[in-house]
Amino acid sequence: MSTPHSSSTSSAPHRASPPQIPESLTLAATASSGSPSSSSASGMRDAAEDDSDSPPSQMSEDDPGGGGGGGDRWEPDLRGGNGGTGRWAPPDQVLENVLESVLEFLTAARDRNAASLVCRSWYRAEAQTRRELFIGNCYAVSPRRAVERFGGLRSVVLKGKPRFADFSLVPYGWGAYVSPWVAALGPAYPRLERICLKRMTISDDDLDLVAKSFPLFRELSLVCCDGFSTAGLATIAGRCRHLRVLDLIEDYVEDEEDELVDWISRFPESNTSLESLVFDCVSVPFNFEALEALVARSPALRRLRVNHHVSVEQLRRLMARAPQLTHFGTGAFRSEAAPGGGLSVTELATSFAASRSLVCLSGFRDVNPEYLPAIYPVCAKLTSLNFSFASLTAEELKPVIRNCINLRTFWVLDTVGDEGLRAVADTCSDLRELRVFPLDASEDSEGSVSDVGLQAISEGCPKLESILYFCQRMTNAAVIAMSKNCPDLVVFRLCIMGRHRPDRITGDPMDDGFGAIVMNCKKLTRLSVSGLLTDKAFAYIGKYGKLIKTLSVAFAGNSDMSLQYIFEGCTKLQKLEVRDSPFSDKGLLSGMNYFYNMRFLWMNSCRLTMRGCKDVAQQMQNLVVEVIKDHSDDEGEAEIVDKLYLYRSLAGPRNDAPPFVTLL
């Protein structure tokens, strides 16, 4: 199984779920009386796999097209009066204006969704007062339709490629181009302040258009995006004079050495409004002196994450310029000086001690463990620590983690082993999120963590709410223990990298372990399953996983009944991802009555045929069914389907599909 470093009972009678507005058409909104948050996408690696960019919302199926967007708005004179001195407003118009005033204070996405579905007048009023638009699939609705409906947006969040693009399972050039969206948003929303993109392709020309179109632009967050270079970043830095947030997270910046642009120097020479600058994924060198000067003239800067070209000597200079930082990405965390001539640990520790506001540390991309004691002065205040790029041993981790008594979020490589995780469990009783990534993600790797580490965490961290755990060896007993010790789990992602791995002690399938998770963790909304699993595990999930919205399945199941249990039982399911599992057309067709309620279905390396996919496309006209080939040079139509991507769309099939994508 890949990783972000490069993620039986008898059949139940058939029953159709009640019709719902599908979240695949997600157009979310939260009303805002002020400027958007400046920290929307500043999480650590994988940031984002969680749908935390913005809460989802739905576009009504009865959208008349004009929505709440264009047209002259009736402005009634409510003062009354006789003759020509005034005019009476129609009662409906008065009520609509009152309703708009009330909806301005409605911030919960779910409440706004419900309000927009009451009737047409509520639908229009909600559209007029919506300030944030979230679109979970850029192909689920056309830019024109969104612009026509919503007239006063200040913030737009767009997602593009399927999540499995993070695992190199979506071929290069698949799509998710932001160009049509930027072209539509510019004329419609001159007061737009924030754009957040995830898994989209954005060119330097697109960034140039963003800078030209939005004079009040304040926040740009690009997560897992590609297509742009330092030239585009220079345009944003130079032209967006009100910029508060520039967050580049897990992006691929396309630059050759002879094409580099000194983008850091393009920020305004006067004091800036910058609050967050994240560019640890930009692998090319940059002008450090320009960065140091920028930090010095940015008194509001709270978040700074630099790339691996920053040494500990330079790190100390940045910390002296910005003692107010709360979130800091350290870069390489090693010295560039000759042996014996570098910065001392004591000198670096003094700098950390002066940074009294630090609560989040990340980076450590080329760490020298000898410098780790320098962070001891801030460890007790840390709530978030990211060691997911640092190949630390248990002996190197333990002195650090024993000082982190208030840690709530911890990301780490599996090189720390079970012993390192036991040290985490002994100290971090308030831990809420843990992610353990593999140094070697190959299926036949040994792996350094196992059920022993998982059980230790469950016993020492009872408040745990989210876990991602890559390993090679696991037992049902350890998973059952976690289900009992951590009942508040919302996210449980156990990735056993080897195919069809059973309980390492008993040799049994992992059915009972995952069954216990869905039975005992009543708040669970996201689940990833792997290992040797039979239909029994999926029967458990269907019966008890009533709140699950996202389900990822790898190397699991033994018949199509597994999918039928999921479709019929998980009534809130929005996203289903399946890879390398023995599910055929029969399993796919068992979801026919449920696809309209889902955002998407992804299946690859299963037993699907072109005929089964065509059956779905013919019977469900409002679904877009994409069949994706593994190789763009394959000719003709293969009967066996490599990859299937199925989603609901108001816009119909897209017009930018490459040759290796067949739209059914």
Confidence of residue 338 (pLDDT cuts 50, 70, 90): low
| Structure-token match 């069949």, residue found | 627
Instruction: Retrieve residue 526's tokens.
Output: 């996201």
| Cα–Cα distance, 31 to 153 (Å, whole number) | 9
Per-position b or e across 487-509, b if 16+ CB within 10 A of its CB:
eebbbbbbbbbbeebbbbeeeeb
Q: What is the mean pLDDT of residues 422-429?
A: 97
| Cα–Cα distance, 266 to 334 (Å, whole number) | 28
Whether 30 contacts 621, CB under 8 Å: no
At a CB cut-off of 8 Å and minimum separation 6, what does 340 contact? Answer: none
Question: Residue 104 — left, alpha, or beta (φ > 0 → left; ψ -120 to 50 → alpha)?
Answer: alpha
347-384 pLDDT, tens digit per residue, is: 999 999 999 999 999 999 999 999 999 999 999 999 99
Question: Residue 410 — left, alpha, or beta (φ > 0 → left; ψ -120 to 50 → alpha)?
Answer: beta
**Quick one: DSSP state of residue 107?**
-
Instruction: Retrieve residue 70's tokens.
Output: 């264009």
| Cα–Cα distance, 510 to 476 (Å, whole number) | 6
| Strand partners of residue 481 | none
Q: What is the mean pLDDT of residues 625-654?
A: 83
Looking at residue 79, its pLDDT comes to: 34
| Cα–Cα distance, 16 to 594 (Å, whole number) | 8
Q: Strand ranges (DSSP E) for 555-653?
A: 575-579, 600-604, 623-628, 643-648
| Cα–Cα distance, 116 to 123 (Å, whole number) | 4
Looking at residue 127, its pLDDT comes to: 86
Looking at residue 336, its pLDDT comes to: 84
Confidence of residue 632 (pLDDT cuts 50, 70, 90): low
Looking at residue 18, its pLDDT comes to: 40
Mean per-residue pLDDT over the chain, rounded: 85
Looking at residue 89, its pLDDT comes to: 52
The structural domains of the chain, with segments of one domain joined by +, span 94-129, 133-565
Per-position b or e across 199-222, b if 16+ CB within 10 A of its CB:
bbbbbbebbbbbbebbeebbbbbb
* N-term to C-term CA, the chain: 29
Select from 165, 49, 40 the least CA-distant residue to 468. Answer: 49
Q: What is the mean pLDDT of residues 271-280?
A: 93
Of 12-16, 577-581, 629-633, the least confident: 12-16
Q: What is the mean pLDDT of residues 398-417?
A: 97
Does residue 12 carry a pLDDT above 70?
A: no
Looking at residue 129, its pLDDT comes to: 85
Does residue 76 carry a pLDDT above 50?
A: no
| Cα–Cα distance, 579 to 27 (Å, whole number) | 28
Question: Which position has the higher pLDDT, 137 or 447?
Answer: 137
| Cα–Cα distance, 282 to 165 (Å, whole number) | 19
Does residue 61 carry a pLDDT above 50?
A: no
Looking at residue 37, its pLDDT comes to: 37
Tell the burial category of 618 from Cβ atoms under 10 Å away from its Cβ (0-12, 13-18, 19+).
Answer: exposed
Question: Residue 579 — left, alpha, or beta (φ > 0 → left; ψ -120 to 50 → alpha)?
Answer: beta
Whether 161 contacts 251, CB under 8 Å: no
Q: What values do phi and psi take at 388, rounded to 5?
A: -75, -5
Q: Parallel, antiparallel, or unpaired: how do β-strands 600-604 and 643-648 relate?
A: antiparallel
Whether 435 contacts 465, CB under 8 Å: no
| Cα–Cα distance, 382 to 409 (Å, whole number) | 9
Whether 201 contacts 658, CB under 8 Å: no
Looking at residue 503, its pLDDT comes to: 95
**Quick one: DSSP state of residue 510?**
S
**Matching CATH topology for 94-129 and 133-565?**
no
211-252 pLDDT, tens digit per residue, is: 999 999 999 999 999 999 999 999 999 999 999 999 999 999
**Quick one: DSSP state of residue 418?**
H
Of 24-28, 56-60, 451-455, the least confident: 56-60
Confidence of residue 271 (pLDDT cuts 50, 70, 90): confident
Looking at residue 634, its pLDDT comes to: 55
Alpha helices in 388-524 (DSSP H): 394-401, 417-427, 451-460, 476-485, 511-520
Looking at residue 381, its pLDDT comes to: 96
Of 50-59, 302-311, 375-384, 616-625, the least confident: 50-59
Confidence of residue 108 (pLDDT cuts 50, 70, 90): confident
Q: Strand ranges (DSSP E) for 130-249?
A: 132-135, 155-159, 194-198, 219-223, 245-249
| Packing angle, helices 312-321 and 288-296, rounded to 10 | 20
Instruction: Retrieve residue 88's tokens.
Output: 């009476």
| Structure-token match 């679904």, residue found | 623
Does residue 4 carry a pLDDT above 50?
A: no
Q: Parallel, antiparallel, or unpaired: how do β-strands 466-471 and 491-496 relate?
A: parallel
Of 5-9, 332-336, 543-547, the least confident: 5-9
Looking at residue 10, its pLDDT comes to: 37
Confidence of residue 94 (pLDDT cuts 50, 70, 90): low
**Quick one: DSSP state of residue 584?**
B
Select from 497, 500, 600 the least CA-distant residue to 5. Answer: 497
Residues 514, 520, 522, 524, Cα dihedral to 10°: -30
Confidence of residue 122 (pLDDT cuts 50, 70, 90): confident
Q: Parallel, antiparallel, or unpaired: how do β-strands 219-223 and 360-362 relate?
A: unpaired
Looking at residue 28, its pLDDT comes to: 38
Domain 133-565: assigned CATH number = 3.80.10.10
Q: What values do phi and psi take at 120, rounded to 5?
A: -65, -35
Distance of CA 639 to the CA centre of its chain: 34
Domain 94-129 CATH (choose: 3.40.50.2300, 1.20.1280.50, 3.30.2310.20, 3.40.30.10): 1.20.1280.50
Q: What is the mean pLDDT of residues 428-439?
A: 96
Confidence of residue 254 (pLDDT cuts 50, 70, 90): confident
449-486 pLDDT, tens digit per residue, is: 999 999 999 999 999 999 999 999 999 999 999 999 99
559-576 pLDDT, tens digit per residue, is: 999 999 999 999 999 999
